A and B are shown apart, each in its own frame.
Chain A
Amino acid sequence: MFHVITSVENEKSGPSIPLFNINQLLQAMLSISHGLMKKLKKEMVFFHEEQQLSRVRQTPYMLGIMDPRRFTLTQIASEAWDSKVVEYDEDDETATSGAGSFTQRRRRARRDLNSLPEKVLLYIFSFLPHQELIRCARVCRFWRQLTQNSKLWKTVFLRPEYNGLHVKNIDQFLTLVGHRFSLSLQYIELPMELITADVLHELANRCPNLKYMTLDFSTAMQLHDFNDLNAFPCNLKMLCICLSEVIFLEGFMRRIYTFLSSLEILHVIGTIEKSNELEEEVYETINISKIKAHTPNLRVINFYGIYFVDDNHIEIIASGCIHLECLALNFCTRVKGTSFKNLLLRCKKMQCLLLQNTGIEDNGILSAEWESSYINELDISSTELTQQCLLDLFSRLPKLTYLAVPNCDGFTDKVLELLIDQGKLSNARAIDLSNTVNLNFEVVFTLLKRHGRHLQGICYAGNPKVTEQFWTNTIKHMKNIKIMVMGTANGWFKKISTRIHVDQILEACAIDCQKLERLEIQWDEETLRWNENSSKFIDHIRIRCTKLQSLVLSDGEYYEVVKSNFERADRNRVVRTTTAYQTSIVSLLHYYNELRFN
């Protein structure tokens, strides 16, 4: 009986079998009761310990409760166990003594990376990007087999210009879809060359769990022939279409409209980044009203940098997508805001409006009924609304959790005072006030002092009058801050005469902001004051702010000092320069995950 227990016990040590039902298993095997088995196990454990450590203690209570029959059984079992233990010991000895090539080889065999369970190896591989995986496939056949596990291919990026893999042979890729991706595939990004009827058919037929798809037409000069296209993934939650400047997508789109009813998130990415603004002809390359007619369930729409989108299109959307919660129109310069009245009337669930760099004007904003909306996240960066308009808008809006107004000249002291007085920012999660030339830091100080406790993100850069004193006095009010951007770049231009003691800022963060994840200090080399004692403060923030994953500084000697300090502690990619990185509060948006593309 004990042999069974020991063997099962040994089995359970193998990582492949889940352990929690082991006792039920034993009970079934030996057909004994739960209590009895526990006793038996205890006896085993007891004897094991006893013999192993030569601690022969005559424990009377143990003997007292055992009847003689079971005791003999126990002895047999413990003998068996004992021999097992001896085996183990020998093993260890030969392994650790390490003399002679034989034992060494044996030791190697025992402690190989590949001796780890497959599950663990897959877990390791899951941290590697696909480029690395392909390299790993060359290590040995076992690894090759592992890297082909479809669990590692849930999310596939195939656009080389966005760090994706490059597919050279489309026929082989087709077989891969069925073999390697199949049920696991959830997300795929296809470049122009791969958007063909064959590939889409294969994806539709083999990958029922495909939920997120990006179709990049941006490099297209000519569209493939989609006349044969009669299947398309139909469970999509998200579809992202990158438009081409000149190619009309209708030929493709009219084949897929009927498959889009499950869509919740739609991204249409325009060509603003690629073209110069002087170009005169603007083609409406995709038909928004037809899309809208087939997508009643959209929750999130993101039109990014599309020249032709104007208020008529927004009206069309408003008439069809009543479940809309988030609308992002960043860089759609033709949107003036006249459609917002109807938008807010129809889409009652609207919570998040992102209008960065749009052409919104006062009259459109003033006519919309903000007071009956649920909008709590608003981005009007770089728009030209006047102070009067903003006063009106904010007095009617409900409480805001996210507000971004950088580069808004109309956002003045008066506007912020109104927001503070009416308590509209009392629950604010993130605020961006950078480069607001008509806003004085005294009001911002009041804001941070009063509502800083809830804030997770604050950007307040570009005010040359703000010195380290402002921050050392406010940081202590922001215990929960995760993202912080401060400082003024180009000090020579803004004529900053005072110098900034950067040590004091770091110290304040180290003491009060343990949750800090991203910190950006924009003051440039000439403006920052530091000395050889500064490393003490860098150490301090490094040790105290363990969650800090990005510290952006302007390039220069101080940057080098901080960088090498962090690198000595093996935190390699934390310190960055302002030339390559920009910190923003967008990750604190409620819809951030839905809004991400590329």
Chain B
Amino acid sequence: MATNVEETYLYSSPTTFKVSSKDGEIFDIDDSFINQSKTIKNMLNVLDIADNHMPIPLQNIKGTMLNAAIVFCKYHKNDLLSIPDDEDEDDFERDAYEPRRSDDISEWDKEFIKQFTVEEGTLFDIIMAANYLDIKALLAVGCKTIANMVRGKNSDQVRQMFNISYDPPGEGLNTPRNSVTSKESGDNQLLTTQEKESRCKTPSPELMYD
């Protein structure tokens, strides 16, 4: 924790701040939250807020989500900030071997994320909140959870699970004549869907998987 103290305290003295959610709830946030939320950290660095300030409005986060995020950050305040910075930046130095794991969510995090569901859409809300607040660890937990849900399902199941409407295939200019085969047994329906969907502008791969 003590390692990046200098970095953390770029903004001025008070260590707790008030924030207000979309539905007007006001929360106190402390170091644990500020250190993990890049958005808030940057905001505070720019804003230079005085002691008895007005709550900072976070206009697209609901109170329940903000509260959850604060709880999450409190729990993880002692974690090393080990998640590397945006991997989608052109960071070619990063070890290319390292596989992304999604089965390494800790027990506490699993319990925590269970309160959010797909049916009510709250899982998406918390991910949105994490994305907006730029809390890497929370975003990772949310995204890994969804990735785990997708894993091992066929496209119909995925559509059903996330309520994605199957959009009718458009007429692509160059319809590839490929068919992706699958070793899964009894997956004939899947294959036909694939053929319909494969009319897409970019050429599709002929890839078969084990």
Q: What residues make up the interface of A, taking CB atoms closer than 8 Å to B? A: 9-10, 13, 15, 19-20, 23, 38, 41-42, 45-46, 48-49, 52-53, 88, 92, 107-108, 110-117, 119-120, 122-128, 130-132, 134-145, 148, 151, 154-155, 160, 163, 165-169, 172-173, 175-176, 179-180, 186-187, 209, 211-212, 542-543, 546, 549, 569-573, 593, 596
B10 proximity list for chain A (CB < 8 A):
none
In this complex, what residue of B is CB-closest to A572?
Answer: B103
Q: How far is the CA of A141 from the CA of B143 in the complex (A)?
A: 20
B88 proximity list for chain A (CB < 8 A):
119, 122-123, 151
Q: How far is the CA of A143 from the CA of B101 in the complex (A)?
A: 21
Q: How far is the CA of A187 from the CA of B99 in the complex (A)?
A: 12
Q: A53-B24, A134-B180 are in contact. Are A111 and B107 (CB under 8 A)?
A: no
Contact of B55 among A45, A107, A114, A128 (CB under 8 A): A45
B209 proximity list for chain A (CB < 8 A):
130-131, 134, 160, 165-166
Q: B150 contacts A126, CB within 8 Å? A: no
A41 proximity list for chain B (CB < 8 A):
47
In this complex, what residue of A is CB-closest to B154?
Answer: A135
Task: Give the Cβ gap from A82 to chain B, nearest Cβ, in Å.
Answer: 12
Q: Pick the most buried of B110, B124, B194: most chain A CB atoms within 10 A of its CB.
A: B124
Total B residues in contact with A, Cβ cutoff 8 Å: 84
In this complex, what residue of B is CB-closest to A543?
Answer: B107
CB-defined interface of B106-141 with A at 8 Å, one 1/0 digit per residue?
Answer: 111010000000101100110110011000000100
Q: B55 contacts A141, CB within 8 Å? A: no
> Does B42 have its Cβ within 8 Å of any Cβ on chain A?
yes
Q: A116 contacts B54, CB within 8 Å? A: no
Contact of A116 among B92, B124, B207 (CB under 8 A): B124
Apart from A20-B42, A49-B57, A138-B154: 19 A-B pairs, beta carbons within 8 A = A20-B45, A113-B118, A113-B163, A120-B143, A127-B101, A127-B148, A128-B150, A134-B205, A137-B204, A140-B164, A140-B165, A143-B164, A155-B99, A160-B209, A165-B205, A166-B208, A176-B205, A187-B96, A571-B107
Contact of B96 among A49, A172, A179, A212 (CB under 8 A): A212
Q: B178 contacts A169, CB within 8 Å? A: yes
Instruction: Please provide the 8 A-B residue pairs with the shortest distance between their CB atoms, ordered closest to farther.
Output: A111-B121, A127-B147, A20-B42, A127-B102, A138-B155, A169-B206, A131-B209, A186-B96
Q: B155 contacts A124, CB within 8 Å? A: no
Contact of A49 among B54, B102, B176, B180 (CB under 8 A): B54
Q: How far is the CA of A157 from the CA of B95 in the complex (A)?
A: 15
A151 proximity list for chain B (CB < 8 A):
88
Task: Give the Cβ gap from A337 to chain B, nearest Cβ, in Å.
Answer: 31
Q: B24 contacts A52, CB within 8 Å? A: yes
A126 proximity list for chain B (CB < 8 A):
87, 100
A571 proximity list for chain B (CB < 8 A):
107
A137 proximity list for chain B (CB < 8 A):
197, 204
Contact of A211 among B96, B121, B164, B200 (CB under 8 A): B96
Q: What residues make up the interface of B, taking CB atoms closer than 8 Å to A? A: 20, 22-24, 26, 39, 42-43, 45-48, 53-57, 59-60, 87-88, 92, 95-104, 106-108, 110, 118, 120-121, 124-125, 127-128, 131-132, 139, 143-144, 146-148, 150-155, 158-159, 162-167, 169-170, 176, 178, 180, 190, 193-194, 197, 200, 202-210
Q: B54 contacts A113, CB within 8 Å? A: no
Q: Please, could you name 28 A-B residue pairs with CB atoms under 8 Å apart, sorted by A?
A: A9-B59, A13-B59, A13-B60, A15-B132, A23-B46, A23-B47, A49-B24, A108-B163, A111-B120, A113-B118, A113-B124, A117-B131, A120-B143, A127-B148, A132-B150, A132-B152, A140-B159, A143-B164, A155-B97, A160-B210, A165-B209, A166-B210, A172-B203, A176-B205, A209-B92, A542-B107, A546-B107, A572-B103
Q: A113-B164, A134-B207, A140-B165 are in contact. Are A125 and B159 (CB under 8 A)?
A: no
Task: Give the Cβ gap from B40 to chain A, nearest Cβ, in Å.
Answer: 10
Q: How far is the CA of A49 from the CA of B26 in the complex (A)?
A: 9
Q: A23-B46, A52-B24, A136-B155 are in contact. Are A167 and B162 (CB under 8 A)?
A: no
B127 proximity list for chain A (CB < 8 A):
116, 120
Q: B166 contacts A140, CB within 8 Å? A: yes
In this complex, what residue of B is CB-closest to A188?
Answer: B96
Q: How far is the CA of A467 from the CA of B144 in the complex (A)?
A: 41
B42 proximity list for chain A (CB < 8 A):
19-20
A110 proximity list for chain B (CB < 8 A):
121
Q: A19-B39, A151-B88, A176-B205 are in contact. Are A107 and B59 (CB under 8 A)?
A: no
